[in-house]
């Protein structure tokens, strides 16, 4: 506890305004987060601008070595970081949650440091030689969400730093302490001023998105906020990588084995209590196996304990904030009133502290029901029956978002044919939401644009330059 207390104390409070952060599982105080101002942001951008040239001058080898040391530092502090994350965000220590998230930070830092990016020879015919290189952009602004605050921050900052940029991070107002603590640990291995976290409100985010000295914005969050960032970035022609809202569809083909896929279906939907952009949020099941899939999912749900994140037995936690709790509650209530069948859950406890919404499976629901058509971002999964694959594909493609999707079948080749018809940035086969630091990830339609991860993710944090001659 001593090291945890020291870490929390180091990122809490300050001489200026603060905001009390509460544990969404208990309502207890986690700590006091600093509330930074636009002037604080301007100072951080100036420091980042000053630190960036020397960092770029280290070259890929020097920068990669520093990032690997940073990964080691995060690994050494992993338990303290996971505990703070659990208390502030609500997710349990165990399962695919807080310890998993901190471990992913380590993995992504190491991947960003070690993925090779060589100059590409485009033409070399004896008369013309043209090479494609990627140079640093300069200062990158990173605006992150509250659902995976540490991991998504690393997704943004690790490739940006590897490519020779400096970074200013604006975390969600719901989870600033987690991001401040992560950055403090990473900064043990980085030059001063290179990476800053400014914990402020909407005014800070707006200033960062429009700041003339910031060359690129990376944003993960709602489509509405993404559209606002696009507008505010126009005057300075900023580069953008946007991972926006999703309402991912899963299609279970009639040859799938309900029992064999139930566990992976469940966690595809309910990881982080459903608070994941690329979680499975609407499930289309063929009528021949519909009842069997519903039954098997119910059995998995019954065996997944929900509770306080610091309880080592919990694998599901509360919703992070009351606003999200109210959204889920409204959507499930609308499904009930429409005549949909609640298989499990649907009745949040009245006396229990915290924003706990029970794991909820909803069957016999129409495709145009608000629980299906709107992104619920919580532990409630609508299960829609279909008769033909053409019908399922049409319903899956019927919304204006397309972050991820999945197809479930005992025949992978048949599943791939269906996957090719789905309008989404990533379509998984017999799994959902499995991201890999080596594999590019990005959305289609109004789920954003730009790629993260792998070589393509590194390129997105650089400015392409052709050397011709």
Catalytic residues: 243, 277
Select from 355, 318, 333, 296 the least CA-distant residue to 283: 296
- Interatomic CA distance for residues 209 and 232, integer angstroms: 6
C-alpha span between 210 and 219 (Å, rounded) = 13
- Give the list of residues 6+ apart from residue 126 with CB closer than 8 angstroms, or none: none
How far apart are the C-alpha atoms of 455 and 303, rounded to whole Å? Answer: 39
**Taking a C-beta distance cutoff of 8 angstroms, is the pair 207, 44 a contact?**
no
CB 357 within 8 Å of CB 325: yes
Q: How far apart are CA 387 and CA 372, in angstroms?
A: 18
Helix (H, G, I), strand (E, B) or coil at 103: helix
Close Cβ partners of 355 (under 8 Å, ≥ 6 residues apart): 24, 25, 90, 318, 319, 320, 321, 322, 324, 325
**Dist. CA 249–CA 188, nearest whole Å:** 41
Helix (H) or strand (E) holding 343: strand 341-344
96: left (phi over 0), alpha (psi -120 to 50) or beta: beta
> Do 292 and 260 meet the contact criterion of CB atoms below 8 Å apart?
no
Helices (H) and strands (E) in the chain, counts: 16, 20
Token duo for residue 149: 């605050």
DSSP 148-164: SHHHHHHHHHHHHHHTT
Q: What is the DSSP string of 192-224?
A: TTSEEE----HHHHHHHHH-TT--EEEEES-HH
**269: its two tokens:** 């939907």
**Counting Cβ atoms within 10 Å, is residue 388 exposed (0-12), middle (13-18) or buried (19+)?**
exposed
Name which of 348, 350, 316, 346 is nearest 332 in CA terms: 346
What's the rounded Cα separation, in Å, for the pair 408 and 429? 6
């Amino acid at each position: 506890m001593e090291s945890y207390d020291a870490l929390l104390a180091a990122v809490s409070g300050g001489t200026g305004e603060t905001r009390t952060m509460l544990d969404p599982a208990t309502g207890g105080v986690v700590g006091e987060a600093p509330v930074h101002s636009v002037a604080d942001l301007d100072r951080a951008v100036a420091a980042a601008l000053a630190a960036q040239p020397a960092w770029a001058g280290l070259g890929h080898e020097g920068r990669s070595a520093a990032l690997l040391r940073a990964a080691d530092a995060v690994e050494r502090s992993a338990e303290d970081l996971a505990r703070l994350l659990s208390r502030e965000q609500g997710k349990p220590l165990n399962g695919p949650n807080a310890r998993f998230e901190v471990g992913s930070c380590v993995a992504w830092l190491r991947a960003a440091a070690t993925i090779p990016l060589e100059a590409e020879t485009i033409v070399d015919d004896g008369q013309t030689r043209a090479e494609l290189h990627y140079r640093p952009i300069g200062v990158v602004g990173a605006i992150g969400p509250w659902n995976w605050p540490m991991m998504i921050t690393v997704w943004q900052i690790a490739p940006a730093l590897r490519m020779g940029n400096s970074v200013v991070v604006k975390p969600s107002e719901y989870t600033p302490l987690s991001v401040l603590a992560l950055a403090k640990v990473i900064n043990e291995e980085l030059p001063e001023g290179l990476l800053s976290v400014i914990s402020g409100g909407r005014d800070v985010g707006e200033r960062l998105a429009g700041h003339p000295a910031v060359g690129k914005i990376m944003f993960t969050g709602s489509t509405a906020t993404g559209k606002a960032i696009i507008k505010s970035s126009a005057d300075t022609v900023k580069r953008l990588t946007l991972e926006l809202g999703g309402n991912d569809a899963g299609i279970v083909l009639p040859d799938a084995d309900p029992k064999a896929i139930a566990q992976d279906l469940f966690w595809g939907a309910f990881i982080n209590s459903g608070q994941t952009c690329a979680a499975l949020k609407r499930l289309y099941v063929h009528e021949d196996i519909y009842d069997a899939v519903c039954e098997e999912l119910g059995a998995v749900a019954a065996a997944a304990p929900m509770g306080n994140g610091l309880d080592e037995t919990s694998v599901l936690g509360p919703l992070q904030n009351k606003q999200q709790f109210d959204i889920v509650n409204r959507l499930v209530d609308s499904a009930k009133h429409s005549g949909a069948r609640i298989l499990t859950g649907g009745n949040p406890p009245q006396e229990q502290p915290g924003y706990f919404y029970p794991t909820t499976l909803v069957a016999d629901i129409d495709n145009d029901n608000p629980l299906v058509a709107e992104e619920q971002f919580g532990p409630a999964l609508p299960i829609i029956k279909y008769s033909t694959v053409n019908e399922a594909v049409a319903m899956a493609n019927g919304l204006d978002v397309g972050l991820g999707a999945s197809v479930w079948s005992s025949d992978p080749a048949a599943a791939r044919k269906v996957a090719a018809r789905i309008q989404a940035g990533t379509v998984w086969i017999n799994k959902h939401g499995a991201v890999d630091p080596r594999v590019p990830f990005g959305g289609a339609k109004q789920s954003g644009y730009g790629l993260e991860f792998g070589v393509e993710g590194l390129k997105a944090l650089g400015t392409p330059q052709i050397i011709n001659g």
